[in-house]
């Protein structure tokens, strides 16, 4: 028996062909199991890399705010009519002014001072005859009202477009002259605008500051059909502007930020609800510093948009 056990130990030590086959089988099996385990771990790591915490992370919120756009790349016109609608949704963002036509009238023009004969020509405004246009005012630093009003109107046009409106501008640059005050009204009338807004900055006394909104009285045969709507527009614009900019009501003109006038051709000849806004007093140092600040002009544009929207929503 001892000899037999010794032979068997030597037999297994040398490696029987069956044991070598089993060894060969065990090694690949161990390798296969290892690879399978490794593959499972690798696959899990790849999924985690592609979708980290995908099972627990909440979806990112959708930003539906509207940023100010700065100057328009191309001016808009009123050549292609759009269907009227109050509200629609595109891509999840509300377009509150979809289908509305908004006329923006940036006061004066940068080249008016080079065309004095043209802008001094008298035009009929219904109640009297007045000069076609004027040069506007400027701050003590030389920032021209015409440049300011065009900048604000361009910013506002971008915001209105984002809200779905079709925008009509009475001028599309700040290098020409005019148009005359009667033609400014006619541009909005021809477009069939829902709202017309003339944007200005006043040249008042240095001791006075603030803004005011100008609207027309009811003039038979002129504004009697739009006077009531224009006053509502004035109230909406006044409220939105005061809240959005923090500028106080004018301390030197009007009453509580409102002024009714019958001598402005842009109002007298309008067939659509229209107001003028003197957004601040360029003759006042405090107001002028604001007006010269691009961030403030963004706030002005946003505030005016909210005033227009409030009026449209309330019609």
Domain spans of the chain, in order of start: 2-50, 88-314
Total length of the chain: 315
Largest CA-CA distance found in the chain, in angstroms, rounded:
140
CATH superfamily of 88-314: Zn-dependent exopeptidases (3.40.630.40)
Residue holding tokens 């001028």? 171
Residue holding tokens 């227009």? 308
Among 8, 82, 145, 278, the one annotated catalytic: 278
Is 118 annotated in the active site?
Answer: no
Which H or E element spans position 105?
A: strand 101-106
Residue 136, CA atoms < 13 Å, CB-side half-sphere: 30
Sign of CA dihedral 276, 151, 294, 166: positive
- Distance CA(101)–CA(250), nearest Å, equals 30
Tokens linked to 218 = 């009811």
Q: What angle do CA 215, 219, 224 make, to 5 degrees?
A: 80
> Which of 291, 87, 76, 309 has the alpha carbon at shortest distance from 203?
291
What pLDDT is attached to residue 315?
A: 72
Tokens linked to 159 = 């915001």
- Distance CA(272)–CA(284), nearest Å, equals 32
Residue pair 196/105 in contact (Cβ under 8 Å)? The answer is yes
Instruction: Tell me the whole-structure pTM to 2 decimals.
Output: 0.72
What pLDDT is attached to residue 29?
A: 44
Q: Do the bridges between strand 212-215 and strand 195-202 make them parallel or antiparallel, or are there none, so unpaired?
A: unpaired
- Distance CA(98)–CA(88), nearest Å, equals 6
For the chain (length 315 residues), average pLDDT per consecutive 10?
47 42 44 43 36 33 31 32 36 68 98 98 97 98 98 98 97 97 98 98 98 98 98 98 98 98 98 98 98 98 98 89
> Which of 228, 232, 230, 247 has the alpha carbon at shortest distance from 303?
247
What pLDDT is attached to residue 12?
A: 43
- Distance CA(75)–CA(50), nearest Å, equals 44
Instruction: Taking each helix axis as running N to C, give the angle between helix 145-162 and helix 294-314, from 0 to 180 degrees, rounded to the nearest 10.
Output: 50
Alpha-carbon dihedral 247, 108, 253, 255, rounded to 10 degrees: -70
Residue pair 106/153 in contact (Cβ under 8 Å)? The answer is yes
What pLDDT is attached to residue 246?
A: 98
Tokens linked to 197 = 């807004």
Residue pair 183/105 in contact (Cβ under 8 Å)? The answer is no
Burial tier of 239 (Cβ tally within 10 Å: 0-12, 13-18, 19+): middle
Tokens linked to 201 = 């900055």
Residue 240, CA atoms < 13 Å, CB-side half-sphere: 20
- Distance CA(129)–CA(111), nearest Å, equals 23
> Which of 274, 279, 254 has the alpha carbon at shortest distance from 201?
279
């Amino acid at each position: 028996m001892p000899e037999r056990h010794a032979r068997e130990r030597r037999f297994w030590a040398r490696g029987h062909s069956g044991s070598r086959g089993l060894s060969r089988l065990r090694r690949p099996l161990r390798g296969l199991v290892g690879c399978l385990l490794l593959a499972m771990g690798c696959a899990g790591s790849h999924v985690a890399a592609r979708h980290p915490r995908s099972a627990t992370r909440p979806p990112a919120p959708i930003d539906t705010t509207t940023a100010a756009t700065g100057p328009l790349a191309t001016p808009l016109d009123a050549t292609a009519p759009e269907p009227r609608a109050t509200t629609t949704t595109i891509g999840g963002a509300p377009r509150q002014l979809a289908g509305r036509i908004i006329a923006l009238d940036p006061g004066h023009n940068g080249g008016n001072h080079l065309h004095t004969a043209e802008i001094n020509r008298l035009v009929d405004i219904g109640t009297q005859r007045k000069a076609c246009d004027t040069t506007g005012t400027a701050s003590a630093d030389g920032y021209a009202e015409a440049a300011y009003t065009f900048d604000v109107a361009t910013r506002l046009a971008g915001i209105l477009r984002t809200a779905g409106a079709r925008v009509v501008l009475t001028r599309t640059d700040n290098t020409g002259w005019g148009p005359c005050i009667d033609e400014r009204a006619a541009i909005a009338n021809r477009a069939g605008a829902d709202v017309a807004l003339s944007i200005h900055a006043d040249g008042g006394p240095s001791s006075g500051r603030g803004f005011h909104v100008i609207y027309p009285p009811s003039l038979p045969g002129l504004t009697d059909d739009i006077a009531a709507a224009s006053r509502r527009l004035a109230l909406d614009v006044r409220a939105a502007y005061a809240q959005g900019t923090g500028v106080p009501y004018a301390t030197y003109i009007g009453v509580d930020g409102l002024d009714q006038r019958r001598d402005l051709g842009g109002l007298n000849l309008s067939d659509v609800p229209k107001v003028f806004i003197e957004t601040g007093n360029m003759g006042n140092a405090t107001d002028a510093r604001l007006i010269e600040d691009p961030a403030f002009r963004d706030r002005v544009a946003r505030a005016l948009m909210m005033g227009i929207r409030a009026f449209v929503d309330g019609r």
